[in-house]
């Protein structure tokens, strides 16, 4: 009697091979997505902006609609404090009389219930 399961086994093997091979094929080249329309370059020529630094801390103050940037590292730990105002896309450097010690790579958030920034670690 002929083996009728052989064609079925071959079909299963071909299907498995296709499933294994097809996902490994490179995807067709697609152009990169267009930039999001709400992105705005804020370090425009002639405008003041924070200097380049790694590990800076950034938190959003929802009550005052502002971003506060603190610290960072550029070979030395920084204790810089900057405020970004999104309504006019401008940075301002602050020099508070009381501020945390210089640091980088810490946790930094705004606590809306207390109306305060909270910094931990670094």
CA-to-CA distance for 54 and 80, rounded, in angstroms?
12
Note the pLDDT of residue 31. 72
Note whether 94 and 71 are within 8 A (CB). no
Q: Which pLDDT belongs to residue 12?
A: 47
Over its length of 122 residues, how does the chain's per-residue pLDDT go in tens digits? Answer: 555 655 565 554 444 444 444 445 555 667 777 666 676 666 666 778 899 999 999 999 999 999 999 999 999 999 999 999 999 888 999 999 999 999 999 999 999 999 999 999 98
The domains of the chain are located at 57-120
pLDDT at residue 48 in the model: 85
Q: What token pair was written down for 7?
A: 């064609």
């Amino acid at each position: 009697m002929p083996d009728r399961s052989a064609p079925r086994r071959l079909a299963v093997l071909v299907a498995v091979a296709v499933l294994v091979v097809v996902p490994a094929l490179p995807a067709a080249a697609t152009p990169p997505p267009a930039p999001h329309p709400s992105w705005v370059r804020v370090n425009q020529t002639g405008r003041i902006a924070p200097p380049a630094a790694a590990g800076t801390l950034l938190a959003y103050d929802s009550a005052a609609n502002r971003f506060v940037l603190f610290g960072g590292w550029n070979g030395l730990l920084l204790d810089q404090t900057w405020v970004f105002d999104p309504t006019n896309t401008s940075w301002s450097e602050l020099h508070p009389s009381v501020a945390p010690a210089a640091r980088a790579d810490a946790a930094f958030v705004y606590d809306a219930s207390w109306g305060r920034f909270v910094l931990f670690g670094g």
